Amino acid sequence: MNGLLHRPGARTALIAVPLVLFAVAGGLAPLLAPADPGVGDLAASLRPPSPQHPLGTDQLGRDQLSRLLYGARISMTITAAVLAISLAIGAVVGATVGYLGGWADWVVARVIDVVVSLPGMLVALAVIGARGPGVESLVLALSLWSWAPYARIARARVAGMRGSPHMDALRLLGAGRVRIIGRHLLPPALAPCLVYASTDVGTIVLGVATLSFLGLGVAPPHAEWGQMLIEGQPFLGSAWWLAYPPGIAVTAVVFASNLLGERLASGEEAPSLLRLAFPGRIRRAARSARPAVVAEPAAVQDSVLVVRDLSVAYPGDGGLRRVAAGISYEVRRGQVLALVGETGSGKTTAALAPFGLLDPRAVVTGSAMLGARELVGPVPRERRRVGVVFQDGAAALNPLRTIGAHIDEAVRNAGRGGRRGATRRVTEELLGTAGLPDPAMVAHWFPHQLSGGMRQRAQIAMALAGEPELLVADEPTSALDVTVQAQLLDLLAGLRDELDMAMVVVSHDLAVVARLADSVAVVYAGRIVESGPLETLIKAPDHPYTRGLLDAVPRPGTAPGTRFRTMPGRSGIGPDDTAGCGFAPRCAFATPACTTERPVLEPLDPSAAHRSACLRHPSTSTTTDGTC
Amino acid sequence: MLEIESVSAGYAHDGTTVIEDVTLRVAAGEIVGLVGESGCGKSTLARVVTGLHRPSAGTVRVAGVDVHALRGRALRAHRRQVQMVFQDPYLTLSPRQTVRQALTEPLTIHRVGDARSRAARVSELLDLVELDPQVGDRRRGQLSGGQRQRVAIARALALDPRLLICDEPVTALDVSVQAKVLNLLCDLRDRLDFGCLFIAHDLAVVSQLADRIAVMWRGRIVEQGPTAAVTTDPRHSYTRLLLSATPTM
């Protein structure tokens, strides 16, 4: 039971119980109600709760439980009608004008603004005043002011999708407006509307009760919660059972719908809450996942970062699932190490894990020494001495702050600068170091005013603010043009040489890092399969996967129509998905042993600089397969 | 197949001209590579060619028909001839549709065949782009980047277009996956004989794939010619810059 309650879905269901209960009870009222809610026995008026009348009787001798159940039926029916009408009108109007844009959009947007800003009760009173009370007037009055938020939500959702490639593709396929709106825009627009609707249920139930209480909604003798409240009001002191049950019912539905709406709206937040709730459990699991230690060579003298046997796991369905295992690498002062691999290979995980920059659920084990300090474990992390540059500069910078403000903050955090003017001087100096022309002007710009290459330079300036010993760059040039990419790689190479900085660069493209890296580690299926000096790796690769990566690089000057050399199969497996070599299923050299025996990183030269994890070692093997 | 005649285009809201006096031809069965940096107007040209954007001057003819002279139903019918593969297949596929539904949609829109023949055509398309039949039941989120782009290519080919515009189709893919998708495009061109305008910022990719290359710079085509001529004997300084920036091993 305890475990069930901890499932987010179960909790959401629990919150919805009062709503479902009253909806079902209302629907089944004719079957559940012990008596006719409209027929009273004046001889049995104002009786307290008893086995015969579980909630007592009112001043006319009518069974209160029956009236409560029928009241639920009326409240829920009216609410459902209002919701259906306002959702349908709101979503269709919002999605249509959101897609069409132009003057129609402008007009509808203003109408929505007006309706949303009007006090709803006033609108309802005006409508009922004009039409007279009754169920139809009530539904109309409530729908008239509840459609607008749905239209606003749908319009905003659709407006964000209007110019997307998805819509362009549909237009090119010949899809008309009706199809695009009906099939492709309404469904995604409905999702947030439904979330809002769950909160709206409470508002509408309350609205119905309020209007009935004022005598403008459901007229007597129909049982309705608001109506019951008004009838019970004179007897609050003497016969509490008249007013309390409908009051509690309204409150329960309103509470439940608000909580449900809040929960549905937060949606994705669950994981971080999970971690806050059960840190102990995850840490225990981490301890049990510690793998066997493999002997590693001693670290070289001037190493800035030494990573040994690093593993990263995430909690999944069947316990922890490792995404990187047995990762060992080191970066020396003034050297660039490139971690190369395909999407999902674990290369970014391997680069960011030592600095606690992964999802908070990640369980990191092993060792990562920055100088003399251990980074893995519960001690506060030394992040300041490490600068990080992410792939997407637009996402890494706050769109509402200037470039200068970003870097000023980083400078202050690093304890440099001091007064405002002094801080800005450091900022401008950093922007200059990152190769941005006219730093004083760029500092006043917002991220969207910069090109992709300039944003990456701004990120680099920010990373340099703490005078880091190590710079970690995750696919720093992947989103850039080749010419801009080349300039940025040259900048990084320059920083390494001038500041004698150590760098870890993550990339999927060996050709890109070849311009910058001193050494390379190739990551496949969460493990390093080959590492060594750049020259050796490119001229004499050993691991068949490294060879495949090199072959896939297009070469200018090749005759047009030449087929690109590819590797069969696809990646996407984890480090523990096979007992043998992760690459074996795609490997041209694989033997039966490759699928059962896991190769370890073995030195290929006396200095042990070049290492490869392959049973066959094609570069040294004397038995050639003809494809070598 | 495609004739672009002195086309200029811009955006009305800020009055800028993005492409100027562009003339380019793509023959049936030919792959023409269009190379240039981001913001040079490549994608605007693609939108003009497909009819999504109206040029301020010049004409675009596909199979002899002026694309921008068409309206309404005639335009939609004509659109079968020209299809496009976008850079990010993740954004062009609906998260709600299965692969099969996505591939059936163009057939439904143009009322091609009945339910059974459409299902057969979808299976044929999956086979064409070398995807397993069971991939057909997956949705966008369950596909790898390479598979997504294959689905996007299959959808673009569903109506048997005579011209395929590829706007940076492999830029978002891993190098190893990129090579496979490019091979596929090459094979499909050989089998189906469509003309292809292949837009990229990476000269290395284009030079191995295209029969001819056009280099675009600041909204103009500054150089065009057979691939070998452009890559070995570049005339324009921007082409030379592109060549020197191309990562090589």
Per-residue model confidence (pLDDT) at position A287: 40
pLDDT at A193 over 80: yes
pLDDT (average), residues A472-486 = 87
Q: Which pLDDT band holds residue A266 (cuts at 50, 70, 90)?
A: low
**A202-237 pLDDT tens trace:** 888 888 888 888 888 777 777 888 888 888 888 888
Q: Is residue B111 part of a domain?
A: no
Lateral strand order in the sheet of A502-507:
A386-389, A470-474, A502-507, A336-340, A519-524, A527-533, A611-612, A602-603
Least CA distance to A509: which residue of chain B? B175
Burial class (CB in 10 A: 0-12, 13-18, 19+), A178: exposed
Element (H, E) at B171: none
Q: Across A103-112, A266-275, B4-13, which has the greatest mean pLDDT? A: A103-112
Half-sphere exposure of A78 (CA within 13 A, CB side): 29
Q: What pLDDT is stored for residue A284 in this prediction?
A: 39
Contact A184, A171 (CB under 8 A): no
Contact B86 A175 (CB under 8 A): no
Examine the pLDDT at A435 and tell me if it is beyond 60.
yes
Report which secondary-structure segment, H or E, holds A358.
Answer: none
pLDDT of residue A466: 84
- pLDDT given at position A381: 55
Could you tell me the pLDDT band of residue A357, with boundaries at 50, 70 and 90? confident
Structural domain includes residue B117: no
Q: Kindly give, in sequence order, each residue whose CB lies less than 8 Å from that of residue A528, ignoring residues fewer than 6 positions away.
A: A326, A327, A328, A329, A350, A521, A522, A601, A613
Distance, CA of A490 to CA of A486 (rounded, Å): 6
Q: With a cut of 80, say whether residue A586 has pLDDT above it.
A: yes
Q: Cα–Cα distances in Å, from A504 out to A499, A514, B179, B182?
A: 15, 13, 26, 30
- pLDDT at residue A459 is higher than 70: yes
Confidence of residue A624 (pLDDT cuts 50, 70, 90): very low
pLDDT value of residue A361? 83
Structural domain of B86: 2-92+163-245
Q: What is the pLDDT of residue A571?
A: 67
**pLDDT tens digits, A304-336:** 899 999 999 988 777 888 889 999 999 999 999
Give me the residues of A, 89-118, that contact B with CB < 8 A.
none
Specify which residues B128 forms β-bridges with: none
Whether B80 is in a domain gets the answer yes
**CATH code of B226's domain:** 3.40.50.300
Question: In this structure, is residue B17 part of a structural domain?
Answer: yes
Q: Which residue has the higher pLDDT, A187 or A82?
A: A82
Quick check: is B217 in a domain? yes
Residue with more model confidence, B13 or A245: A245
Residue (of A66, A68, A77, A63) closest to A23 by Cα position: A77
Residue B148 counted as domain residue: no
Q: What does pLDDT average to over chain B?
A: 89
Q: With cut-offs at 50, 70 and 90, classify the pLDDT of residue A165.
A: confident
> How many Cβ atoms are within 10 Å of B81's Cβ, its own excluded?
18
CB contact, 8 Å: B86 with chain A? yes
Nearest CA-CA distance, residue B6 and chain A, Å = 23
Question: What proportion of chain A, given as a percentage, has pLDDT over 70?
Answer: 89
Maximum pairwise Cα distance, chain B: 56
Q: Decide if B77 touches A, using CB distance below 8 A.
A: yes
Helix (H) or strand (E) holding A623: none
Binary contact (A564, B80; C-beta < 8 A): no
For residue A482, which residues of chain B lie inside 8 Å, CB to CB? 201-203, 242, 245-247
Q: At A5, is the pLDDT very low, low, confident or very high (cuts 50, 70, 90)?
A: low
In this complex, do A565 and B178 lie within 8 Å of one another by their Cβ atoms? no
A 40-79 → B contacts, CB under 8 A: none
Confidence check: pLDDT of A458 > 80: yes
Mean predicted confidence (pLDDT) in B181-208 = 90
Nearest to A481 among B37, B94, B158 (CB): B37
C-alpha angle A376/A382/A388, rounded to 5°?
95
Cβ of B242 within 8 Å of Cβ of A482? The answer is: yes
**B14: in domain:** yes
Average pLDDT over residues A438-466: 91
How many domains, in total, are found in chain B? 1
Contact status of A568 with chain B (Cβ, < 8 Å): no
Between A628 and B223, the more confident residue is: B223
Average pLDDT of every residue of chain A: 83
In a domain, B207, yes or no: yes
Per-residue pLDDT, B32 = 96
The helix (H) or strand (E) run that includes residue A445 is: none
Least confident of A249-253, A317-321, A405-409, A530-534: A317-321
Q: What was the pLDDT predicted at A271? A: 33
User: Is the CB of residue A449 less than 8 Å away from at least one CB of chain B?
Assistant: no
Decide if pLDDT at A605 tops 90.
Answer: no
State the nearest Cα–Cα gap between B107 and chain A, in angstroms.
Answer: 9
Lowest-pLDDT range of A19-28, A78-87, A292-301, B100-109: A292-301
CB contact under 8 A, A509 and B175: yes
| pLDDT score recorded for residue A268 | 36
Q: What is the pTM of this model?
A: 0.75
pLDDT value for A380: 56
- Domains identified in chain A and CATH numbers: 2-268 (1.10.3720.10), 284-374 (3.40.50.300), 386-556 (3.40.50.300)
Q: What is the mean pLDDT of residues A85-96?
A: 94
Does position A185 have pLDDT exceeding 70, yes or no? Answer: yes
Average pLDDT over residues B5-32: 89
d(CA A78, CA A193): 19
Closest CA in chain A for residue B238: A483
